[in-house]
Amino acid sequence: MAMRVDLSGVKQRYRLCFVRDTWAFFTRLDLNRQWGDGWERTPYEQYAGEPYAGEPGQILKLAFDGSLLRPESGAHGAAYSVETINDGHVPWLRTENYLVPKPLFIMGGSTIEKFVECVELVGGTVYAPLGWGDLVRPQAPPTPAVPDHTP
């Protein structure tokens, strides 16, 4: 049995601010107010730390998989700082193959809703921790009514 997490309560409030390996970090703050160690240094993958979480619920961390490249990867990869990426100069994640009809870009500041939609478009999955959001169980088909044959 599969369970899904209902993200409807947070899908617009949190924005993508950092990606490390298969982890995406989302913040409730404006991107220009969210920070972490070494976010101004290049290359981010060597110097940058995870985003600061000054208050409870400020940062949400989601795991994901899928055919997406980070800024330093692929034919068009290069070294960037988190600050440069979050300023919109390059996407946090992108496609670079020709299997999708149109290149896909996930920019800093993308909502959780947009992030999930894009990851699913490339055949990936986003994983939310249990206990976060409401669990939604798939509904079983209704059982047919059994006629009562009592006299």
Query: Residue 125 in 3-state DSSP?
Result: strand
Extract the residue ranges of the chain whose pLDDT is less than 70.
1-8, 97-100, 130-151
pLDDT at 103: 86
pLDDT at 54: 87
pLDDT at 96: 81
Q: Are 22 and 125 in contact (CB under 8 A)?
A: no
Single out the residue of 59, 37, 55, 66 nearest to residue 127, CA to CA.
66
pLDDT at 15: 96
- What span, in angstroms and rounded, lies between the C-alpha atoms of 35 and 21? 18
pLDDT at 12: 82
| pTM, 2 dp | 0.81
Single out the residue of 25, 86, 13 nearest to residue 53, CA to CA.
25
Single out the residue of 88, 22, 3 nearest to residue 61, CA to CA.
22
pLDDT at 151: 57
